[in-house]
């Protein structure tokens, strides 16, 4: 999965994942059409779509595949292993279309096995991004907790990588030094307009996040609320790619 991501990112010269937080299927489809060439992955919250239906979602995932996008459901699973496996099925059947999902490690390491079993149940493969940090102010993912998540997650083949805080480059650089080079770090809380966002969200600069060690900047409103989402996506892609070129010297 990591190889696939890097191939797509290299082809598009973009380390951007769009947080596609629109609440209609038409809005989501329009976003893919507008920004597909400039982003490498699409992050969804399947349960916030008002007119969700299985058929419309399948069409959406097909459009994402056509646009060469990884699909990432930011479900933030947190339950015991067996229930997490069952939650990969259910109404939304996340296991059948997601390439990546997020999870907290608060319930212990078996959640990763549960999620992997979910994909196996339908003969698919996927990767888990563990929340090691969050972008929102006052979150309770304190450094000692982060360290435990990283130590356990690094050892698990089912863990694709970690969520790091894109709004604080210093925190992110610290996370990268703990993670090493073998796992991904993806970072929400990124916007070209750095500062505080709505309801406790915090934003950092995309290029600084990549320089601090991010493999993928997750950008929502900076793209989907822009007057011209395609142009905005291109600007984030360029910033992320410039960061990568600079980081690699």
**In the complex, least distance from residue 219 CB atom to ligand 5BU, rounded to whole angstroms:** 5
Spatial CB neighbours of 111, under 8 Å, sequence gap ≥ 6: 77, 78, 79, 80, 81, 84, 103, 104, 105
Active site residue 3: no
Instruction: Quote the least distance from Cβ 81 to ligand 5BU, whole Å.
Output: 20
String of DSSP letters for the chain: -HHHHHHHHHHHT--EEEE---SSHHHHHHHHHHHGGG-SEEEE-GGG-TT--HHHHHHHHHHHHHTT-EEEEEEEE-S-HHHHHHHTSTTTTGGGT-SEEEE--TT-THHHHHHHHHHHHTT---EEEEES--SSTT-S--HHHHHHHHHHHHT-TTEEEEE--TT-HHHHHHHHHHHTTSSEEEE-SB-SS-EE-GGG-EEB-HHHHHHTT-SEEEESHHHHTSSSHHHHHHHHHHHHHHHHHHHT-
Query: Nearer Cβ to ligand 5BU, position 120 or 201?
Result: 201
Residue in the shown chain whose Cβ atom is closest to ligand 5BU: 220
Of the two residues 50 and 55, which places its CB atom closer to ligand 5BU in the complex? 50
Q: Which residues lie across from 162 on neighbouring strands?
A: 130, 185
Give me the residues that bind ligand 5BU (CB under 6 A), please: 19, 21, 74, 102, 131, 134-136, 163, 188-189, 197, 201, 218-222
Closer residue to ligand 5BU in complex, CB, 107/120: 107
Query: Which entry of 3, 12, 76, 234 is annotated as an active-site residue?
Result: 76
Using the minimum distance from each CB to ligand 5BU, give the nearer residue, 68 or 201.
201
**Cβ proximity to ligand 5BU, 10 vs 234, nearer residue:** 234
**Least separation in angstroms between CB 84 and ligand 5BU:** 16
Least distance from ligand 5BU to the Cβ atom of residue 183, Å: 16
Distance of closest approach, residue 131 Cβ to ligand 5BU, in angstroms = 5
By annotation, the residues acting in catalysis are 76
């Amino acid at each position: 999965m990591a190889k696939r991501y890097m191939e797509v990112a290299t082809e598009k010269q973009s380390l951007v994942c769009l947080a596609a937080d629109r609440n209609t299927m038409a809005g989501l489809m329009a976003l893919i059409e507008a920004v597909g060439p400039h982003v490498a992955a699409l992050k969804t919250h399947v349960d916030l779509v008002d007119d969700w239906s299985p058929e419309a979602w399948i069409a959406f995932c097909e459009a994402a595949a056509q646009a060469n996008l990884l699909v990432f459901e930011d479900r933030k699973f947190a339950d015991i292993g067996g229930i997490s496996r069952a939650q990969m099925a259910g109404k939304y059947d996340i296991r059948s279309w997601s390439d990546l999902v997020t999870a907290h490690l608060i319930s212990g390491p078996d959640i990763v096995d549960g999620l992997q079993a979910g994909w196996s149940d339908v003969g698919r493969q996927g990767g888990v991004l563990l929340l090691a940090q969050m972008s929102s102010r006052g979150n309770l993912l304190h450094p000692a907790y982060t360290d435990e998540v990283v130590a356990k997650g690094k050892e698990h083949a089912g863990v694709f990588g970690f969520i790091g805080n894109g709004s604080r480059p210093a925190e992110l650089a610290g996370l990268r030094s703990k993670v090493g080079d073998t796992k991904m770090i993806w970072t929400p809380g990124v916007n070209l307009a750095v500062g505080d966002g709505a309801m406790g969200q915090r934003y950092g600069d995309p290029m600084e996040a990549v320089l601090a060690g991010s493999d993928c900047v997750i950008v929502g409103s900076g793209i989907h609320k822009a007057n011209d989402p395609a142009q905005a996506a291109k600007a984030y892609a360029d910033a992320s790619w410039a960061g990568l070129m600079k980081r690699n010297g």
